[in-house]
């Protein structure tokens, strides 16, 4: 059963300007491994974290580093959930998190679907 859905779209140019204007923002939003990626990948990961927050109901207190976008051995993106984000997912009985990322024509996007075990 679906327990949450989220989508987000990021304008790559605006996102890049935000990171340039506020240098510490990169460290606030991304783990060390994520922060080393190219700008298109960063924008897609930011969209993913925003989409995940929406799927979780956007509660206050979620920590950015508690949701890390990682790649499975076959290359598909997924989340490593920790702390505040994991606790919220568990409170919704979300047993699986499905993630799709895309970037093209100056736009990065992400879709998240939370699924329960039953």
Give the number of domains in the chain: 1
Total residue length of the chain: 118
- Would you say 66 and 83 are in contact if contact means Cβ atoms under 8 Å apart? yes
Q: Domain of 15?
A: 2-116
**Using alpha carbons only, what angle is made at residue 84 by residues 29 and 67, rounded to the nearest 5 degrees?**
40
- pTM for this predicted structure: 0.95
The confidence score (pLDDT) of residue 118 equals 74
Here the CATH number for the domain that contains residue 88 is 3.90.470.20
Q: What is the pLDDT along the chain (118 residues), one digit of tens a residue?
A: 999 999 999 999 999 999 999 989 999 999 999 999 999 999 999 999 999 999 999 999 999 999 999 999 999 999 999 999 999 999 999 999 999 999 999 999 999 999 998 7
The confidence score (pLDDT) of residue 87 equals 97
């Amino acid at each position: 059963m679906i327990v949450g859905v989220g989508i987000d779209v990021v304008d790559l140019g605006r996102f890049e300007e935000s990171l340039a204007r506020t240098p510490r923002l990169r460290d606030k939003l991304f783990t060390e491994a994520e922060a080393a990626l190219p700008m298109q990948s960063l924008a897609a990961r930011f969209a993913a974290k925003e989409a995940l927050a929406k799927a979780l109901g956007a509660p206050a207190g979620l920590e950015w580093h508690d949701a890390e976008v990682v790649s499975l051995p076959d290359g598909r993106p997924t989340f490593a959930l920790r702390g505040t984000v994991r606790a919220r997912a568990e409170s919704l009985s979300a047993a699986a998190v499905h993630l799709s990322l895309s970037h093209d024509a100056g736009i990065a996007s992400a879709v998240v679907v939370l699924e329960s075990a039953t």
